[in-house]
Structure 1
Amino acid sequence: MIHLFKTKIGRLRILAILEGISLLILVFIAVPMKYWMGNPAFVKMMGPIHGSLFLLFLFNTLSVGVEQHWKFKEITWKVLLACFVPFGTFYIDMKILSKL
């Protein structure tokens, strides 16, 4: 895992995993706790964390895309779209990012 920190694509893969985990925690744990248990504290904590990871993932995707000369219609849009779908970043990491 330490080898992923050495390249921009490796760091993007780490961000994808962290962003995916934060989205899953937010959607499947924090939001149900807020609406079913009336406890919004976890959403208040996870919301900014997920938002920060989301923005880092977007900016790093665009940065890597420009650096690696990705064509927007082939790779970049798929990677960007993945962060909006639960489990999407894990799928993109497995199918696209791990092979670059």
Structure 2
Amino acid sequence: MAVSMYVVWSTAEPRRVIYETHSIEAVADRAGVHAEVRSESHQTALHSRAQARSIAEAEGYELRAEGEAWESLPESLPEDEDEDEDGTPPAETTPTSG
């Protein structure tokens, strides 16, 4: 079963880009065999296309690199803002005076 990954705008937080996954499964029940769509919204904020590709590769998703939310993402984060190993950007730090 292939799982497709779509980059979308969050409905909970304006301007936040997240992803959804969708799969179609063949289900056999008393009514016969029919297709069942399974959709899931992942609230992981995406900060770059590279991060989305990394998630898709790690999870085995087929990334659908299209749409307005996808186009809004930069190709990658600036070098000084590299992502952590888990694909998340580094935590923001608060400057200290001293």
Structure 1 and Structure 2 fold alike (TM over 0.5): no
Bigger RCO (CA 8 Å, 6+ sep): 1
* Larger relative helix fraction: 1
TM-score between both structures, scaled by the size of structure 1: 0.26
* Larger relative strand fraction: 2
Bigger Cα Rg: 2
